[in-house]
A and B are shown apart, each in its own frame.
Chain A
Amino acid sequence: MPEKLKTNTPVEETEKVTPLQFLKKHVYDITSYMGLVLVAVLFVIFNSGPRFMFNLSSVIQTASVYAVIALGAVFVYSMGFMDVSIGQQVGVYVILMILIGNKVGGVPGVIVGFLAVLALALICGAINGAVAVWLGLPSIVTSLFLMFFFTGAQVLLMEGTGKNSIELEQAVRPEGRNEYSLMLIAIVIVLALIAAYFFKYTKLGKYTRAIGANETTAAQSGVNTIKWRVIAYMALGVCVALGSFVLLTRTGTAGKGSGSGYAMDVMICLILGGMPLSGGMKSKISAALVGPFTYVLLSNDLTTMGVDLNWINFVKALIFIAIVLLTCRKKDGVLPR
């Protein structure tokens, strides 16, 4: 019997894929990579002057904070969830690192401050992941709660200091601009390699994508969805803590508005990088690198091209809408849960 069954193994003829079909299939990847190439080329063209290196390092400074956070956010976004509290978390973490760092003093102070913030970030991750499940709420609700909570915390912490801006006494960045850029690039590369490993070759990445694609199926296939949801949010937490540190190296100070807008910026970066908001199998780690650099280079290009600085946000919004329209299909349900 088995012999007979084997007689007609249907083998599909593989035909040549037309360029159009290829384009359609890879529209996410192509638009995002083409976008990065385009803004990079424009950057080189419009920055041929003596300020090339200066502007390049400005771009690296801004983009690396986004990239560090986005590398963690990829795990949450690939589940089709999001975290709107990122910005306020960053604000509070930067303030706490300064307060603790100054209290303890010196390099140990910075380390203690960072570890404290890391612990807090992990707790927030657990809250975002677990409490949402426990209370049967969408994760966006708990992250909204955290957002309000941290907004309050940030204001209270700053009012406690009685100052508009506080400063870390210990220097945390190399004096030279180029050395600083190299340090940032090193941080981003190391973190990207780690994140890529977890995303591509471990349960974390595979399970978060499966949850994003179909949570019921994932659960019925042996994925402990609650556990991995929590872990994914904690991974984001680690990256938010790291990103806060990177931001601190840039400013050395913090205020009431530190970190504001980061949640949306990270979301925009990921979308520009080709991340589907609905998560799932099309999620990709490269979005966390491509997106931030595209986003920041775009701002820089628009500035150097002479677009009125107050119009830049408007132009960015137009480009963003264009990309969303290009890459998303209604069928996929692009709105985050």
Chain B
Amino acid sequence: MSKEQIIEIRHMCKNFGPTRALRDVDVSFYRGEIRGLVGENGSGKSTITSILAGMQKATSGEMFYKGQPWAPKTMVDAQRHGISMVLQEANTIPNCTVAENIFAGRFDEFSKLGIVNMKKVNEAAQQLLDSFGISHIKAADSINDYGFEDRKLVEIVRCVNDDTEVFVVDETTTALSLEGRQLLYKLIHKLKDNDKSVIFISHDMDEILEQCTDLTVLRDGEIKGNLTREEMDAPDAVKRIRYLMVGREIGEAYYREDYDSSHRPEVALELKNLTFGPIKDFSLTLHKGEIVGFGGLSGCGMHEIGRAAFGLEKLASGSVVREGKEIKTCLEAINSGIGYISKNRDTEALILAGPIADNIVLPSIPALSHASFISPKAEKKLSDGEIEGFRIKCNNGRQWVNTLSGGNKQKVSFSKWTAKDSDVIIMDCPTRGVDIGVKQFMYKVIADMKKEGKAIILISEELAELIGMVDKLIIMKDFEVTKEFTRSPDLKETDIIEYMI
């Protein structure tokens, strides 16, 4: 079967300052396919699609769309010509209704003599939502009433319409609930069946293998291989893809290999009868050398527990105690040796508009300060040590964090607390949006920390990761603990899921 080519990219290069994000890439996309794009963070997946969808311009190279030279001016321009893209980050307009979000920029279709018929807009929007099978979102409601996941769905509704020829999904699924994902899968298959083209970017290998018809692997801005559906179904496909992505054997060790769930006797952190918001009377004792995991759906309350343990939540009753002292603020938490890797990496964990080094040393400044003086040498030594240890991909420590890829940003966020040598680290989704190479590395760091006697709280939406890493797994649902599991080789995801939903 020969498919019709819809997009052709020739010799595309893209440089960000000295960093070469794309190096002479040649790739084509066809009608009637769902093309997976995989690669480690910073391999150039999003760069290709964002150039295609008009978000930025290539440094050099040519693009052809339906046989014509293609140079979109903006995302809106691209969308008008049939190339739509949904991003990882939130992209809805706050304080507007769902309908207004869906039809933003297209109100002329509903207006007569400059007066917009809002009733018509709402009706049309609701019809559209229903057609996508998302009837639980009401067009007339304010977008603020909906959570992140639902907003993502609204975005999808906004950018897919009858004229869509190419649909780009850029790591959107990480933001979606199970239901939302199913909806999205259905949508892309429908598009494929209608002879449209879908480009699907994800870090979730299972998802890629299940949903895609073709696969392109990128590494360091170059195409490293293309797999057909048959090749993807081969028994060693995963291993092969990983090899293409990382450029070396990953080895078997991914998660922790031991099943020793023991820990040291000393208590590292105690949560005593915490009551705040919807959470009632939650208690937990964390020991040195212990990894306690929290699993559940994203609104189950586990993220709030993490925040509370770091002193970020105002408690109605109960207390967080470390070494006999009550922790009431995040300042006290940090001073007593607690670290916290926020789920909201870009807004809470990192100073994006600042050098990597400054980010890394920030929590360690009190320790570096001697009689008010902070030695730049000591700072550099500390940050360079972490950059090397974590292999943060950068030119040097003065490079700004916002120039890094997601995985490298996450490494910076992680390294702040290893630099500080915190004894208790609360990790909220530490591997979110991180590719396997980095993931593997982080798992090793976490396992090493346990050996060193650090106490860790690992909050994650990925069950495999929890099963693979933690000594004790606490499953939550609707702000209550539904089940606890102890580390065991026999623990399966299916055993756990029933306690989550």
Stretch of B129-137, B244-252, B449-457, B461-469 contacting A (4+ beta carbons < 8 Å): B244-252
- Given known A1-B251, A203-B365, contact A217–B358 (CB-CB < 8 A): no
Alpha-carbon distance between A218 and B444 when the two chains are bound, in angstroms: 28
Alpha-carbon distance between A16 and B373 when the two chains are bound, in angstroms: 35
Chain B contacts of A209 at CB under 8 A? Answer: 354, 358
Q: Are A1 and B374 in contact (CB under 8 A)?
A: no
Partner of A222, one of B248, B312, B363: B363
Q: A162: CB under 8 A from chain B?
A: no
Chain B contacts of A21 at CB under 8 A? Answer: 17
Partner of A10, one of B312, B358, B366, B391: B391
Q: B416: CB under 8 A from chain A?
A: yes
The A44-61 residues at the B interface (CB cut-off 8 A) are: none
Q: Are B355 and A281 in contact (CB under 8 A)?
A: yes
Alpha-carbon distance between A213 and B350 when the two chains are bound, in angstroms: 10
Chain A contacts of B248 at CB under 8 A? Answer: 4, 7-8
The A171-222 residues at the B interface (CB cut-off 8 A) are: 200-203, 206-207, 209-210, 213-214, 216-222
Nearest neighbor of B388 in chain A, beta-carbon distance:
A9
Closest Cβ–Cβ distance, residue B420 to chain A (whole Å): 8
Q: Are A280 and B18 in contact (CB under 8 A)?
A: no
Q: A251: CB under 8 A from chain B?
A: no
Chain B contacts of A2 at CB under 8 A? Answer: 444
Partner of B18, one of A14, A202, A218, A220: A14
Q: Are B246 and A203 in contact (CB under 8 A)?
A: no
Closest Cβ–Cβ distance, residue A12 to chain B (whole Å): 6
Q: A332: CB under 8 A from chain B?
A: yes
Partner of B358, one of A16, A201, A210, A216: A210
Partner of A210, one of B310, B351, B376: B351
Stretch of B194-202, B232-240, B341-349 contacting A (4+ beta carbons < 8 Å): B341-349
Q: Are A218 and B362 in contact (CB under 8 A)?
A: yes
Chain A contacts of B347 at CB under 8 A? Answer: 214, 216-217
Q: Are A281 and B334 in contact (CB under 8 A)?
A: no
Q: Are A218 and B349 in contact (CB under 8 A)?
A: no
Q: Tally A residues with Cβ within 8 Å of B.
A: 39
The A21-78 residues at the B interface (CB cut-off 8 A) are: 21, 25
Partner of A216, one of B20, B348, B365, B441: B348
Partner of B20, one of A13, A207, A223: A13
Q: Are B330 and A219 in contact (CB under 8 A)?
A: yes
Alpha-carbon distance between A210 and B374 when the two chains are bound, in angstroms: 15
Q: Are B362 and A221 in contact (CB under 8 A)?
A: yes
Q: Are A280 and B391 in contact (CB under 8 A)?
A: no
Chain A contacts of B251 at CB under 8 A? Answer: 1, 4
Q: B394: CB under 8 A from chain A?
A: yes
- Given known A12-B395, A203-B366, contact A217–B220 (CB-CB < 8 A): no
Which bracket fits the contact residues of B?
Answer: 35 or more
Q: B19: CB under 8 A from chain A?
A: yes
Q: Are B369 and A203 in contact (CB under 8 A)?
A: yes
Closest Cβ–Cβ distance, residue B452 to chain A (whole Å): 14
Nearest neighbor of A12 in chain B, beta-carbon distance:
B395
Interface of B is mostly: mixed
Nearest neighbor of A8 in chain B, beta-carbon distance:
B248
Q: B253: CB under 8 A from chain A?
A: yes
Closest Cβ–Cβ distance, residue B340 to chain A (whole Å): 6
Alpha-carbon distance between A2 and B330 when the two chains are bound, in angstroms: 34
Partner of A281, one of B310, B330, B354, B363: B354
Chain B contacts of A165 at CB under 8 A? Answer: none
Chain A contacts of B205 at CB under 8 A? Answer: none
Q: B353: CB under 8 A from chain A?
A: yes
Q: B331: CB under 8 A from chain A?
A: yes
Chain A contacts of B348 at CB under 8 A? Answer: 216-217, 220
Q: B372: CB under 8 A from chain A?
A: yes
Q: A313: CB under 8 A from chain B?
A: no
Alpha-carbon distance between A200 and B365 when the two chains are bound, in angstroms: 13
Closest Cβ–Cβ distance, residue B330 to chain A (whole Å): 6
Q: Are B369 and A214 in contact (CB under 8 A)?
A: no
Q: Are B354 and A280 in contact (CB under 8 A)?
A: yes
Q: Are A8 and B376 in contact (CB under 8 A)?
A: no
Chain A contacts of B393 at CB under 8 A? Answer: 10, 12
Chain A contacts of B366 at CB under 8 A? Answer: 203, 222
Q: Are A203 and B374 in contact (CB under 8 A)?
A: yes
Nearest neighbor of A4 in chain B, beta-carbon distance:
B251
Alpha-carbon distance between A12 and B15 when the two chains are bound, in angstroms: 12
Q: B352: CB under 8 A from chain A?
A: yes
- Given known A14-B395, A220-B349, A222-B366, contact A206–B354 (CB-CB < 8 A): no
The B1-29 residues at the A interface (CB cut-off 8 A) are: 15, 17-20
Alpha-carbon distance between A224 and B444 when the two chains are bound, in angstroms: 33
Closest Cβ–Cβ distance, residue B104 to chain A (whole Å): 20
Beyond A5-B441, A220-B349: 17 further Cβ-contacts under 8 Å? A1-B444, A13-B20, A14-B395, A15-B20, A202-B373, A202-B374, A206-B365, A210-B354, A214-B350, A217-B362, A220-B310, A220-B340, A221-B363, A221-B416, A222-B365, A281-B354, A281-B400
Q: Provide a sorted-by-A list of 25 A–B residue pairs whose CB atoms are within 8 angstroms.
A: A4-B248, A7-B248, A10-B220, A10-B391, A12-B18, A12-B395, A13-B20, A14-B18, A200-B376, A201-B376, A202-B374, A203-B366, A206-B374, A213-B351, A214-B347, A214-B350, A214-B351, A217-B348, A220-B340, A220-B348, A221-B363, A222-B334, A222-B362, A222-B363, A332-B353
Chain B positions near chain A (C-beta within 8 angstroms): 15, 17-20, 220, 246-249, 251, 253, 310, 312, 330-331, 334-335, 340, 342, 347-355, 358, 362-363, 365-366, 369, 372-376, 391, 393-395, 400, 416, 440-441, 444
Going nearest first, the 8 A-B pairs with the smallest beta carbon separation are A222-B334, A281-B354, A221-B362, A213-B351, A15-B18, A214-B351, A221-B363, A222-B363
